[in-house]
Amino acid sequence: MLALMMDRPLTLPSILEHAALYHAGREVVTRTVEGPIHRYGYKDALARAKQMAKALLALGVKPGDRVATLAWSTHRHFELYFAVTGVGAILHTINPRLHDDQIVWVADHAEDSVLLFDISFAEQVAKLAPRMQTVKTVIAMTDAAHAPAGVLVYEELLAAQTPEFVWPELDERQASGLCYTSGTTGNPKGVLYGHRSTVLHALALALPDAFDLSARDVVMPCAQMYHANAWCTPYAAPLVGAKLVLPGRALDGASIAELIAAEDVTFLLGVPTIWVGVADHLDQTGGRLTSVRTIAIGGSAPTAALITRVEERLGGKVRQIWGMTETSPLGVINTPLPTHAGEDPQATLQRKLKQGRGLWGVELRIVDEDGRELPRDGKSTGALQVRGPWVSSAYFKQDGAAAFTDDGWFDTGDIATIDPEGYLRLTDRAKDVIKSGGEWISTLDLEEAACSHPAVAMAAAVGM
């Protein structure tokens, strides 16, 4: 017997529609590529997203078409998160840190038809766009005063449309986003997100034992919007009505600290090097931050020294997270349990060095070389595998099929332990493990030991 409940699809435009209705004036603040600070409410963002959706349709964009961006974290990029996906097309966020040949390669592999770019990439796009085999339309994400010659202009296309628009009915399993892995071994691989998977991921992200987001928060993602949906915060923030602060391209310590203070940011997320830069700036200026509640750190494992320094200088509590492009990206997050109340500071710090506990939606296991599941005893070390509704089931165009097991798990390439409380601790990447005298040596343990010295800020251990 089937349930008698309305079958409403989980689609991304519904998030911005909700924010515009119930959090109309809650701000999206951007440090623009052109320089000035831009701010507007979610109601205005929805109107502009609908105008851009109509502009894309007028340019001939169809459901399933790939629309690429080469852009930073800005309000225009935020609009495209909904405008592109809302018409059934697929937003392909290209990582500008890829070298030029790989940027061309991913655009061709994705078969992008439209490329939108921030003006800081104008010279690069002028050089690379003619090499892209399928890109027919190039749009500068700026106004006429700042646009390079010979391309369409975002603000002009938008101004030619009215905001009256009804989103088309979409299948919630329809693809919405495409992000390529970094390609450290061979060419990058495409991860194809869907409306359903991304909505579920955004809901999970906002839960109290995850990012704990609400309408009372001010969220500033320092993970750029070209990388795994900026850790999905451009969807999670409007979902709960949080204020969203986008840093543009300026990720230096001074610029980040200035925005945090000016906008009363409560929740930060980014890689360790970002917070080292902010801490350095605060040390040099004697400044202090008073609004920060939580700093989510991912991308690489922070050391005990870094966690301590970030908490002292930025004022919030660090929550380490682990995830991948293939997990949308949230996999685990280091949230304390009730049993940890009253633990001594050193025990707290040692727990924070673990990547985190699983949350609903991501299943974890570690296996030996024969594929047998290993116990969760905090000692057994094996290959980490994951599965769940926002975990990739295959790469775009079936590249790298070996990463996916016959019984439906994704092999992350990480080596890890899981303890009895469910905390995951990475010990290595499979390709980085060091063996000496018949014993496995953790590069993360070596790095932690090096960084425990007060004269060492960061370290990397490499097997030779």
User: Which active-site residues does the annotation give?
Assistant: 181, 326, 435, 440
Give the residues across from 323 on adjacent strands: 330
Helix axes 233-240, 75-86, angle to 10 degrees: 90
DSSP character string of 147-195? PPTTSEEHHHHHHTS-S---PPP--TTSEEEEEE---SSSS--EEEEEH
Here the tokens at position 464 are: 């030779």
Helix H or strand E encompassing 49: helix 42-58
Give the residues across from 239 on adjacent strands: none
Question: How far is residue 145's CA from residue 110's CA, in Å, rounded to a whole number?
Answer: 31
User: Under a CB-based contact definition with an 8 Å cutoff, are residues 279 and 314 in contact?
Assistant: yes
Radius of gyration of the chain (CA): 22
Helix H or strand E encompassing 1: none
| Nearest-5° Cα angle at 152, 149 to 154 | 115
Question: How far is residue 109's CA from residue 192's CA, in Å, rounded to a whole number?
Answer: 13
Helix-, strand-, coil-residue percentages of the chain, each rounded to 5: 35, 25, 40
> 216, exposed or middle or buried, with CB in 10 Å at 0-12, 13-18, 19+?
exposed
Question: How far is residue 241's CA from residue 239's CA, in Å, rounded to a whole number?
Answer: 6
